[in-house]
Structure 1
Amino acid sequence: MRLLSFPQFPAPGRVLTIFETGANLPIPIARVFTVASDQPDTAGGGHAHRWCSQVLVCLQGEIEFVGRDHLGGEVRHLLTHPQQAVLMPPTIWGEQYYRTTPALLMVFCDYPFAAEDYIRDFDSFRAHREALAAAS
């Protein structure tokens, strides 16, 4: 996981933020979705992906990202503006906590939706990561 930053161009009364595959988005884009929260301290995510990488951008409010590996390692980032984002590679357990309201998360994905890509149980996630480590 790593933090990304995007160029912003302020003008009177507005700010333009640019997200561009090949320039500042490190993954090709196959899908984009948003998640809006109107209640503080709402949780989202709570799963990992087998193949999909994601770039998570907070468009409004404050959203805390928590990424976990299968060994107990954890990374936390508080996203507060669209100039920064988190790159979450596959096989990382991701959780989001919508700390303020309203809050709006935008997610860029390099893989189209596929139900079999999702690992929604942490014990299954741990077993998947251990199997990957044993195979390499």
Structure 2
Amino acid sequence: MKPVILNFPKIQDPRGNLTFMQFPNQIPFEIQRVFWTYDVPGGEIRGGHAYYEQKEIIVAISGSFDVVVTNADGSTEKFSLNRSYYGLYLPAQTWRHIENFSTNSLSLHISSETFSKEDYIRDFKEFKILKNV
């Protein structure tokens, strides 16, 4: 499977909108971990890795940022996230980094696995070997 934008329900109300996600209707895995990044200084880049097993959804809860997916052949695809009612699904073994954070942006990460440093692929050469390139 390839990275894809998931649209979440948006319940509009004059008092403020509400969006939710739950397994299995809106997300393709059971949630094992949730984390968020914030206060990212201007010009910084987050990520720069892939996971062996973990699947992930990234949502821009506030502000905006770009998720850049790099394929094993070096080609890239950029996903600009700037709405809290959709998120980017990243299957396991997807190399990514996040850049171009707006002021006060907040990225929410929903993961299929609990944290394990052994699940990280931090060397792009290793990633290419895994993908047979």
Q: TM-score, normalised by structure 2?
A: 0.92
Map of 2:98 onto structure 1: 96
TM superposition shift of 1:55: 0.5
Which residue of 68, 77, 80 maps to 1:78? Answer: 80
Displacement over 6 Å in runs of 4+: none
Check conservation: 2:40, 2:101, Cα contact below 8 A: no
Q: Which structure features the higher share of strand residues? A: 1
Structure 1, residues 7-59: CA drift from partner, whole Å, max 9, x if none? 11122241100111111111211111111134233211100000000001010
Aligned pair count reads 131
User: For residue 41 of structure 1, what is the amino acid of its counterpart?
Assistant: G
Shift of 1:81: 1.1
Q: 1:106 to 1:10 in 2, by over 3 A?
A: same
Matches within 5 A, 1:1-136: 1-130=3-132
Give the match's secondary structure for 2:79.
Answer: strand
- Percent identical across equivalent pairs? 25
- State the Cα distance separating 1:127 from its structure 2 match: 1.6
C-alpha displacement of 1:73: 2.6
Question: Which has the larger share of helix?
Answer: 1
Residues 80-126 of structure 1: CA deviation (Å, up to 9, x unaligned)? 01111111011110111143110100011111111110011111211
Contact 1:37 1:98 in 2 (8 A): no
Q: Under a length normalisation based on structure 1, what TM-score does the superposition of the two structures give?
A: 0.90
